[in-house]
């Protein structure tokens, strides 16, 4: 991590590996999915160490505290050192993931799609019921 004091928000999100490109980071900022210190901001917002970033990625909440600034995109283990996550938000995000998995399991057939014969048997049971 270098000795810089401020950094553009879109560049930090890219360097911290939340987005593959700065353009994607800018798009999410413009859509209002990212807030700094509970305020909606622009792409050119400069952040400093200690700022709190609230964002929603793929309908999952993130609450990050900026621990460091780095002008270059580094490997993922180094990028994780740039921020710390709020434990409550991590728990909430895991809960949402579990709910999404449960919903997916209900819509899919665990043994595969029913065959034509199975479907006809189901139809007979439904008619008799």
**pLDDT at 102 (0 to 100):** 74
Residue of higher predicted confidence among 110 and 77: 77
Interatomic CA distance for residues 119 and 114, integer angstroms:
6
Instruction: State pLDDT tens for residues 77-91.
Output: 999 999 999 999 999
Instruction: State pLDDT tens for residues 19-32.
Output: 999 999 999 999 99
pLDDT above 70 as % of the chain: 92
Residues facing residue 83 across a β-bridge: 66
Residue 8 near residue 34, CB atoms below 8 Å: no
pTM of structure: 0.76
Which fold, 7-128? Answer: 3.10.290
Furthest C-alpha separation in the chain: 75
Domain segments of the chain as ranges: 7-128
Measure Cα distances from 112 to 54, 107, 121 in Å.
40, 11, 16
């Amino acid at each position: 991590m270098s000795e810089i004091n401020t950094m553009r928000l879109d560049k930090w999100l890219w360097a911290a590996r939340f987005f593959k490109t700065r353009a994607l980071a800018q798009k999410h900022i413009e859509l209002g999915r990212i807030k700094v210190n509970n305020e909606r901001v622009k792409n050119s917002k400069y952040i400093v160490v200690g700022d709190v970033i609230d964002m929603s990625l793929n309908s999952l909440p993130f609450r990050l505290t900026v621990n460091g600034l780095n002008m270059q995109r580094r490997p993922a283990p180094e990028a994780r050192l740039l921020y710390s996550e709020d434990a409550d938000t991590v728990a909430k995000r895991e809960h949402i993931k579990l709910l999404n998995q449960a919903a997916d399991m209900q819509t899919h057939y665990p043994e595969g799609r029913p065959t034509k014969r199975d479907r006809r048997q189901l139809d007979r049971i439904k008619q008799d019921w």
